[in-house]
Amino acid sequence: MIPGDFEYYRPNSLDEAVQLLATHGDDARVLAGGHSLIPMMKLRLAAPEHLVDLRNIASLSGVSESGGDITIGAMTTQTELITSTVLSEHCPIIRETALLIADPQVRYCGTLGGNVANGDPGNDMPALMQCLGATYILQGPDGMREVEARGFYEAAYFTEMNDGEILTAVRFPTPAAGHGYAYKKLKRKVGDYATAAAAVLLSMKDGNCVSASIALTNVADTPLYAQAASDALVGTTIDAAAIDEAVALAEGITEPASDGRGPAEYRTKMAGVMARRAILEAKERAQ
Amino acid sequence: MSDAATMTLEEREATLGGVGTARKRKEDVRFIQGAGNYVDDVKLPGMVFGDFVRSPYAHARIKSINAEVALAVPGVKAVLTAADLKPLNLHYMPTLAGDVQAVLAEEKVLFQNQEVAFVIAEDRYIASDAAELVEVDYEELPPIVDAFKAMDEGAICLREDIQGKTEGAHGARKHDNHIFTWEIGDKEGADKALETGEVTVKELVTYQRVHPSPLETCASIASMDKIKGELTLYGTFQAPHVVRTVASLLSAIPEHKIRVIAPDIGGGFGNKVGVYPGYVCSIVASIVLGVPVKWVEDRIENLSATAFARDYHMTGELAATKDGKITGLKCHVLADHGAFDACADPTKWPAGFFNICTGSYDIPVAHVSVDGVYTNKAPGGVAYRCSFRVTEAAYMIERMMDVLAQKLEMDPAELRLKNFVQPAQFPYNSALGWEYDSGDYPTAMNQMMQAVDYAGLRREQAEQRDKVARGESRSLMGIGVSFFTEIVGAGPSRNCDILGVAMFDSCEIRVHPTGSAIARLGTKSQGQAHETTYAQILATEIGIPSEDIGIEEGDTDTAPYGLGTYGSRSTPVAGAAAARVGRKIRAKAQKIAAHLLEVAEGDLEWEIDRFKVKGLPEKEATMKEIAWAAYNNLPEGMEPGLEAVDYYDPPNMTYPFGAYLCVADIDVDTGETSIRRFYALDDCGTRINPMVIEGQVHGGLTEAFGIAMGQEIAYDELGNVQGASLMDYFLPTAVETPVWETDFTVTPSPHHPIGAKGVGESPNVGGVPAFSNAVIDAFSHLGVKHMPMPHTAWRVWQQCKESGLTK
Ligand SMILES: Cc1cc2nc3c(=O)[nH]c(=O)nc-3n(C[C@H](O)[C@H](O)[C@H](O)COP(=O)(O)OP(=O)(O)OC[C@H]3O[C@@H](n4cnc5c(N)ncnc54)[C@H](O)[C@@H]3O)c2cc1C
């Protein structure tokens, strides 16, 4: 439970951070809140020789809404997501999800950027970002580029991000006013990763569903955007039949591992139960 | 003279703070301010650190160990292996159960994370880095993980060091992987009762492998002063004196040159009773290097390598008449002891006090047999917040009572009421050989049933079942009844010893001239509030306010010899010694008072904190005055001072009991259980401090909840330990923990000087079956008899599926 040796850096600018990563290549890792990376270092599952701490780079924090988009800096902590008035007003599902992550101590340190960049299928924010249709903004030695959250995750801990790149922010369209939402997470206890979780965002018009977006957490080696399940709701009144179909389609794309939370079969079913409950609550909340 | 002269009786009682007072825990002043002093807080000049190289395999032959690269790391002082310990005959150490355990693996490793080499370095980081560089070449062997396969014909022999030995510490061994068979009771009679019983039930009830998981892991610091030839050993020891004796026997250092200090301990729950390789290696390393050596386990090491608890596969059988009178009990236990038999039981009891398994019931005939086996798992088998194997026994009988009730179509509470040992039967001799000291079970049960409106709950349950059947609800309601009898306070020397040392305990007191006192005891608090409660016992006996009595434990140079704290023995044994030492003080004080007041001893009567002359209420001598006189104004010929010591060998154990009830709601779609209500009535005899009792009950119930609902040290088929971290091993937080309702009755122990029994462990013993019974009761109307613990959401969901409640 003691990490290997490493050098620690705390650059004051993004350029400096990118430079440090370029200099040290493979042996360097970005450090954000440290609540995924440091546990892995203690178990020696990760042994970076150079840690580049981003906490002094002020431009990486904060939440803003403009031009129909919400942008959240990568270093914004989960606590800041919970207390942000912009998010409570325009996108309350982020607060709902963040409150289900770990415990207050973890949330004071853990960042949105670290949560989505880590590539851990257990993390809750990646599926939520897929649900919201978010774009990740990456800065590397060759400049800036953007990657869709729905195309970002390749396998557990493998993402589209290249060595030497830093995630600076996520951006997503502000959900329509009156949208319905819910994040439902089954876990064994406070501080546990999901047995299964589902994020649902939808809009209703005259009793019909006009848009829907469903994503699942920790039921495959990446977060899952449930396109077919989402589509199954659109154009319906979200009646029992539509929900059954969406749930079955959501269950169908899962490929969970068996672990202490339960065997694969159970986790698939729980993805369905969470999706069902999230759809019902989102429908209830939609105006 | 002082205010004391003008105080009312009530005010004097309150100032005394004696038995029965809800006095705040004295030790919490330092604990809640982060000012405790735990082993890891102890820093000695020149101290170095040790870390283990552990086996990645559950079963493998060690072909070679190469420490060259590790030794070359700057700051590394030494690397110990079995080859270094062997010449000292320390590569194996004796266990409390009469077996030996490898300190560092010699030819084979027998469980994952077994200790293979000990790396000592200037700091922890270097030790940890270097441990990774020790090269161990293994040849993997097939592991035995399933206890039921350990004694298969042709099963690979795990313990080559004792291969072919047909006689073990507890009699014959019938297989290389067999440790012992322990039998008690009337086999013929029990067989007959089962054959002829009008109604019989049989069920395999497994109590899974769990871990006590104290917040503070195990640790030690050994400091050998080579010039004086003295060894000082700091450690997380629940029984420091026993550790001193064992250390002396192992090291050949004379016992008076060994000082064992157990400073503050952050929870033990049985995990800190035994002796671990880390302790031995820190001692050897300090002897070799001549500097203090510290060893501190990390969480994964604690959960995967130091003593586990339970792992009992119990096949229970009950016979009864058609109207529910039990006529006989049989039980066979397959006990998985892991790679070495390192159970922490009194030496003659290889299955602890499992024969308390007739529980609270008047069962005429019973028979128990236990087979201990070796597997490729960590050794242990400690009493996790219970007396030795008592939680296992209580779980078996309380599960079987529900199984029988179901078969009889009788209410589980009614079946219990029908079979209780009756108040008039005490002292009661159980079919399996115990003499229960006192109890009033029907009163406790009825008080519980009234408090929770038991009949009302059953009505509600029936309505809820109908709703589920009609498809109006997806929530099942379960009601778990548990009525337990504990057996605590080991113990009478006639049947309890540890490595030959009788299990008495002790208290020594010195009353100072100004009327305050210091008392020392042979036990060791790990959070049980001994500093608070022992002072209360003494206060009542000698009339000095508990605030003015300091309590010390844990330093073998100052405390009288005792056998330590576990098995709820502190109050029954050391607490009795405290009461008796107080009586010795008061007897001498009475003589001094007679001298001061110039009357005969017999003319005096005791009142709270002073002696008064009968019939002359204004003539009195307070304890404060007497203490002063003990040092300057004594009767002719009396030895000065006011000190006493008492060693107490209890005539019997004490038998606390209780009636618990749990109401659980189960979400059939997810399998999640939510505990709606938990009521715990405890009878621990005389109540020394109600607030401390309540705290102990809350803690024990929380652990019971953890065990029943989530705790498990599981292994995969290769013997890899699963989830040995707090992410997977379920320690409930305040969020998961249910609300506890506590209650009590008082049936004093007739043989204990103040009538007190133990309480710290009762809630774990009684709690586990209450939770488990509640979960299973939720499915009883569907014909479900038993479900495996822990009742995690997925397991319960599995049952929902099997019962056709969900797809
Ligand atoms: C007990 C416990 C329980 C937890 N439970 C949950 C849970 O239920 N749900 C959940 O979602 N999370 C959970 N977490 C994880 C927590 O939310 C982490 O804080 C989060 O996953 C990572 O964020 P961080 O800021 O701590 O990142 P770090 O740990 O600092 O970094 C994580 C990884 O991302 C990389 N990284 C970080 N920031 C950037 C960036 N800006 N650009 C590029 N790479 C970057 C790092 O190099 C590292 O590889 C838990 C953590 C703990 C300790």
Q: What is the mean pLDDT of chain B?
A: 96
Instruction: Place B5 in a pLDDT band, splitting at 50, 70 and 90.
Output: low
Q: Tally Cβ neighbours within 10 Å of residue A269.
A: 24
On the 0-12 / 13-18 / 19+ scale of CB atoms within 10 A, B553 is: buried
Q: For residue A274, what is the nearest residue in chain B, using CA coordinates?
A: B670
pLDDT per position as a tens digit, B700-723:
999 999 999 999 999 999 999 998
- Listed residue (B549, B560, B557) closest to B523, CA to CA: B560
Candidates B670, B723, B727; nearest CB to A186: B670
Gap from B431 CA to chain A (nearest CA, Å): 41
CB contact under 8 A, B792 and A191: no
Asked which of B648, B666, B684 is the last residue of a domain, the reply is: B648
Q: What is the average pLDDT across A218-222? A: 98
Which run of H or of E encompasses B224? strand B219-225
Does the pLDDT value for residue B181 go beyond 90? yes
Half-sphere exposure of B260 (CA within 13 A, CB side): 33
Does the pLDDT value for residue B133 go beyond 60? yes
Residues B643, B657, single domain; the answer is: no
Residues B642, B664, single domain; the answer is: no
pLDDT per position as a tens digit, A189-199:
999 999 999 99
Q: What is the average pLDDT across B199-204? A: 98
How confident is the model at residue B3, as a pLDDT? 56
Ligand 1 midpoint to CA A131 (Å): 19
* Residue pair B593/B611 in contact by the 8 Å Cβ criterion: yes
On the 0-12 / 13-18 / 19+ scale of CB atoms within 10 A, B675 is: buried
> What does pTM read for this prediction?
0.97
Residues B588, B667, single domain; the answer is: no
B386 is known as an active-site residue? yes
Q: What is the average pLDDT across B189-211? A: 98
Residues B644, B566, single domain; the answer is: yes
pLDDT per position as a tens digit, B333-361:
999 999 999 998 888 899 999 999 999 99
C-beta of A132 in contact with ligand 1 (< 6 A): no
Instruction: Name the class of domain A62-173.
Output: alpha beta
B385 is known as an active-site residue? yes
- Listed residue (B200, B239, B124) closest to B563, CA to CA: B239
Residues B479, B517, single domain; the answer is: no
> Phi and psi dihedrals of B406, rounded to 5?
-65, -45
Residues B639, B663, single domain; the answer is: no
Ligand 1 atom 53, closest CA: A35
Q: What is the average pLDDT across B189-215? A: 98
Ligand 1 atom 27, closest CA: A114
* Residue pair B511/B551 in contact by the 8 Å Cβ criterion: no
How confident is the model at residue B617, as a pLDDT? 85
- Listed residue (B209, B100, B157, B145) closest to B377, CA to CA: B145
* Mutation to probe ligand 1, out of A30, A139, A162 (largest number of atoms < 8 A from CB): A30
Identify the residue whose tokens are 């079979």.
Answer: B419
Does the pLDDT value for residue B807 go beyond 90? no
**Ligand 1 atom closest to A78 (CA):** 17
Gap from B714 CA to chain A (nearest CA, Å): 9
Q: What is the average pLDDT across A84-95? A: 98
Candidates B125, B735, B797; nearest CB to A2: B125
Catalytic residue among B23, B385, B610, B687: B385
Edge-first strand order for the sheet with A196-205 is: A180-186, A196-205, A208-217, A224-225
* Mutation to probe ligand 1, out of A60, A101, A131, A219 (largest number of atoms < 8 A from CB): A101
Tally of domains in chain B = 2
Which residues fall within 8 angstroms of residue A105, CB to CB, at 6 or more apart? Answer: none
> Phi and psi dihedrals of B805, rounded to 5?
-85, -20
Strand ranges (E), A131-236: 135-140, 143-148, 153-155, 158-159, 166-173, 180-186, 196-205, 208-217, 224-225
How confident is the model at residue B347, as a pLDDT? 83
Amino acid symbol at B778? A
| Interchain contact B802–A (C-beta under 8 A) | no
Gap from A173 CA to chain B (nearest CA, Å): 33
**How far apart (Å, rounded) are the C-alpha atoms in residues B593 and B589?**
6
Q: What is the mean pLDDT of chain A?
A: 97
How confident is the model at residue B4, as a pLDDT? 57
Tokens at B127, concatenated: 């030790």
Residues B622, B674, single domain; the answer is: no
Q: Does B740 fall in a domain?
A: yes
pLDDT per position as a tens digit, A123-134:
999 999 999 999
Tally of residues, chain B: 807
pLDDT per position as a tens digit, B785-797:
999 999 999 999 9
Chain B 92-131, residues with CB within 8 Å of chain A CB atoms: 124-125, 128-129
Does the pLDDT value for residue B460 go beyond 50? yes
Amino acid symbol at A207? G
- The CB-based long-range contact list for B439-443 (8 Å cut-off, 24+ gap) reads B439/B360, B439/B485, B439/B655, B439/B657, B439/B683, B439/B747, B440/B683, B440/B745, B440/B747, B441/B360, B441/B483, B441/B657, B441/B659, B442/B417, B443/B745
**How far apart (Å, rounded) are the C-alpha atoms in residues A93 and A134?**
14
Instruction: Name the class of domain A180-285.
Output: alpha beta
* Mutation to probe ligand 1, out of A6, A26, A36 (largest number of atoms < 8 A from CB): A36
Ligand 1 midpoint to CA B735 (Å): 23
Q: Output the domain CATH number for residue B545.
A: 3.30.365.10
Q: What is the 3-state secondary structure (H, E, C) of B9-38?
A: HHHHHHHHCCCCCCCCCCCHHHHCCCCCCC
CB contact under 8 A, B797 and A192: no
Residues B618, B557, single domain; the answer is: yes
CB contact under 8 A, A192 and B727: yes
Does the pLDDT value for residue B214 go beyond 90? yes
Show the domain range for B550.
3-36+505-648
CB contact under 8 A, B798 and A266: yes
Edge-first strand order for the sheet with B740-744 is: B475-485, B657-667, B673-683, B740-744
Residues B684, B788, single domain; the answer is: yes
**Ligand 1 atom closest to A161 (CA):** 43
Catalytic residue among B218, B331, B343, B386: B386
C-beta of A51 in contact with ligand 1 (< 6 A): no
Candidates A1, A5, A191; nearest CB to B298: A1
Q: Does B450 fall in a domain?
A: yes
Asked which of B607, B627, B648 is the last residue of a domain, the reply is: B648
How confident is the model at residue B567, as a pLDDT? 85
How confident is the model at residue B568, as a pLDDT? 87
Ligand 1 midpoint to CA A116 (Å): 8
C-beta of A195 in contact with ligand 1 (< 6 A): no
C-beta of A106 in contact with ligand 1 (< 6 A): yes
- At B555 the three-state DSSP class reads strand
B54 is known as an active-site residue? no
Handedness of CA B398, B402, B405, B410 (dihedral sign): positive
Q: Give the residue extent of every domain in chain A.
A: 7-53, 62-173, 180-285
Does the pLDDT value for residue B2 go beyond 80? no
Instruction: Place B500 in a pLDDT band, splitting at 50, 70 and 90.
Output: confident
pLDDT per position as a tens digit, B374-425:
999 999 999 999 889 999 999 999 999 999 999 999 999 999 999 999 999 9
CB contact under 8 A, A260 and B723: yes
* Residue pair B728/B807 in contact by the 8 Å Cβ criterion: no
CB contact under 8 A, A190 and B124: no
**How far apart (Å, rounded) are the C-alpha atoms in residues A163 and A24?**
10
Which residues fall within 8 angstroms of residue B64, CB to CB, at 6 or more apart? Answer: B135, B136, B137
What residues of chain A lie within 8 A of the CB of B125, using their CB? 2, 5
How confident is the model at residue B346, as a pLDDT? 87
Half-sphere exposure of B105 (CA within 13 A, CB side): 33
C-beta of A91 in contact with ligand 1 (< 6 A): no
Q: What percent of chain B has pLDDT over 90?
A: 95
Q: What is the DSSP string of B718-738?
A: T-PEE--STTTS----TTTPP
Ligand 1 midpoint to CA A171 (Å): 19
Chain B 681-710, residues with CB within 8 Å of chain A CB atoms: 710
How confident is the model at residue B495, as a pLDDT? 83
CB contact under 8 A, A188 and B710: yes
Candidates B128, B730, B793; nearest CB to A2: B128
Q: Which residues face B679 on adjacent strands?
A: B661, B741
**How far apart (Å, rounded) are the C-alpha atoms in residues B264 and B267?**
9
Q: What is the DSSP string of B483-539?
A: EEE--BS---TTT-EETTEE--EEEEEEE-TTS-EEEEES---SSS-HHHHHHHHHH
Q: What is the average pLDDT across A233-241? A: 98
How confident is the model at residue B1, as a pLDDT? 43
Ligand 1 midpoint to CA A39 (Å): 10
Q: Does B274 fall in a domain?
A: no
How confident is the model at residue B498, as a pLDDT? 85
Asked which of B596, B626, B648 is the last residue of a domain, the reply is: B648
Gap from B79 CA to chain A (nearest CA, Å): 19
Chain B 708-727, residues with CB within 8 Å of chain A CB atoms: 710, 714, 722-723, 727
Amino acid symbol at B456? G
Residues B768, B675, single domain; the answer is: yes
- At B636 the three-state DSSP class reads coil
Mean pLDDT is lowest, of A79-83, A121-125, B2-6, for B2-6
CB contact under 8 A, A261 and B794: yes
**How far apart (Å, rounded) are the C-alpha atoms in residues A244 and A233?**
10
Q: How many CB pairs under 8 A join A and B?
A: 55
* Mutation to probe ligand 1, out of A106, A116, A136, A166 (largest number of atoms < 8 A from CB): A106
Tokens at B429, concatenated: 């001799």
C-beta of A217 in contact with ligand 1 (< 6 A): no
Candidates A186, A190, A262; nearest CB to B736: A190
- A7-53: CATH topology is 3.30.43
**How far apart (Å, rounded) are the C-alpha atoms in residues B472 and B190?**
47
Q: What is the average pLDDT across A107-131? A: 98
Residues B516, B600, single domain; the answer is: yes
Instruction: Place B601 in a pLDDT band, splitting at 50, 70 and 90.
Output: very high
Residues B471, B541, single domain; the answer is: no
Does the pLDDT value for residue B665 go beyond 90? yes
C-beta of A37 in contact with ligand 1 (< 6 A): yes
B238 is known as an active-site residue? yes
Candidates B733, B794, B797; nearest CB to A190: B733
**How far apart (Å, rounded) are the C-alpha atoms in residues B622 and B599?**
15
Instruction: Place B6 in a pLDDT band, splitting at 50, 70 and 90.
Output: confident
Which run of H or of E encompasses B553? strand B549-553
Q: Does B554 fall in a domain?
A: yes
Tell which of B666, B702, B705, B794 to mutate to test the A interface (max A CBs under 10 Å).
B794
What residues of chain B lie within 8 A of the CB of A263, using their CB? 794
Q: Does B114 fall in a domain?
A: no
Q: Which residues face B49 on adjacent strands?
A: B121, B294
- Listed residue (B115, B66, B110, B73) closest to B90, CA to CA: B115
Ligand 1 midpoint to CA A114 (Å): 4
CB contact under 8 A, B733 and A191: yes
